[in-house]
Amino acid sequence: MESALAAFVEKGYHAASITDIITGASIARGTYYLYFESKRSVFEELLEGYLKRISDVVSVVSLEPGAPPPADQLRTNVERVLDVLSANQGLNQLVLRQAVGLDADFDRKLDDFYGRLLEYIKGALDLGQQMGMVRAHGIDTALLAACVLGSIKELVNQYLTDAPPGSWDREMAVRVILSYNLRGILDPLPPQAP
C-alpha cells in the first residue's frame, strides 16, 4: 500500500504502473495479484483506508454525566482528525489533487467518499441540533455539512498536503476550524439582513 501510494503521488495515477508498485514494495507480480486485481483496486483500498482512519478517530459528543464539556469533545475530535490528516500527506495529495477527473469511475468513487463524509458530518450536526448545541431554526444541516467539509478540505489542501512535518501550527489550525465552523467569521454577528 505504501509503495502504491508513493508511486501514485510521485508519478500520478495514470503514469504509475503496477511495475512501479511492486518494485517499490520489493514483491513479485504474482504476490501483488494475490491481493489486488488491478491498479484501480489498490487505489480504491487506499481511499477506503483513508476514510476509515478519519472516521475511526471521531467520537460522538456525549452528554452523559461525567463526560467532558461538549466543546472539549469537539476540540478533541478536530485535533485527532488533523493529526490523521497531517500524518497522511500523500493520501491528502492523492484525494485532493490527483484523483479528481481521472475518469468517470474514479469521480464516482470520490463522490461516494465525500458523500459519506458529508453524511457523517450532517449526522453529527443533526445530533447537535437534537442536543440543543446547533441552531435548528433556519439551518439546513446538509448545506452546513458542505460548508464544514469545504473549510477543512481547503485547509488540508493549502497547509497540510505539502507542509514539512512540524511546520504548521496545529493549535492555531484547531482554533481557526472551531471558531470558523462554530461561530462564523463576524464578531459580533450582525442583525439579519431583510
Please state the domain extents for the chain.
39-183
**Residue 102 Cα to chain centre, angstroms:** 19
At residue 99, the pLDDT reads 65
Nearest to residue 106, comparing CAs of 118, 94, 121? Answer: 94
pTM: 0.76
| CATH for the stretch 39-183 | 1.10.357.10
68 is written with which cell numbers?
A: 467532558
Predicted confidence pLDDT, tens digits, the chain (194 residues): 999 999 988 888 888 999 999 999 999 999 999 999 999 899 889 888 888 888 899 888 788 899 998 889 889 988 998 889 888 888 888 777 766 666 777 788 778 878 888 888 888 888 888 878 788 888 899 999 999 889 888 888 887 777 776 777 888 888 888 888 887 755 555 555 55
